[in-house]
Amino acid sequence: GQQLNQSPQSMFIQEGEDVSMNCTSSSIFNTWLWYKQDPGEGPVLLIALYKAGELTSNGRLTAQFGITRKDSFLNISASIPSDVGIYFCAGPNGVDSNYQLIWGAGTKLIIKP
């Protein structure tokens, strides 16, 4: 089935560093979603993007909808311990109500002690 390619698979960073991750697709998406999942919890929506070229921020998080509509990027500035978790990109495959969300495999963020 259709896949979203998310990279990197994992990241080891120092507290205070900036983080970048991306998601690519072989086909065009009209919406890009970024979620974060903490251990033992379900994913939580961070940012939703609806327009090519759109740049949206949520606190220290910034996400961009690529102009080709086949990719998206998520940046986290000045990382803190609570940023640890798995970040997923997702996009809807389908039209109107007849859709399903396609998910990337996730980027695991680990902060070095």
Partner 1 sequence: KAGVTQTPRYLIKTRGQQVTLSCSPISGHRSVSWYQQTPGQGLQFLFEYFSETQRNKGNFPGRFSGRQFSNSRSEMNVSTLELGDSALYLCASSLAGGVSEQYFGPGTRLTVT
Please give the residue ranges that form the binding site for partner 1 (CB under 8 A): 1, 4, 6, 9, 31, 33, 40-45, 48, 88, 90, 92, 94, 97-106
**Minimum CB–partner distance for residue 15 and partner 1 (Å):** 26
CA separation for the pair 3, 29 (Å, rounded): 12
Measured from the CB atom, the residue of 42 and 81 that comes closer to partner 1 is 42
Burial status of residue 104 (CB atoms within 10 A of its CB: 0-12, 13-18, 19 or more): buried
Length of the chain measured in residues: 113
**Minimum CB–partner distance for residue 65 and partner 1 (Å):** 13
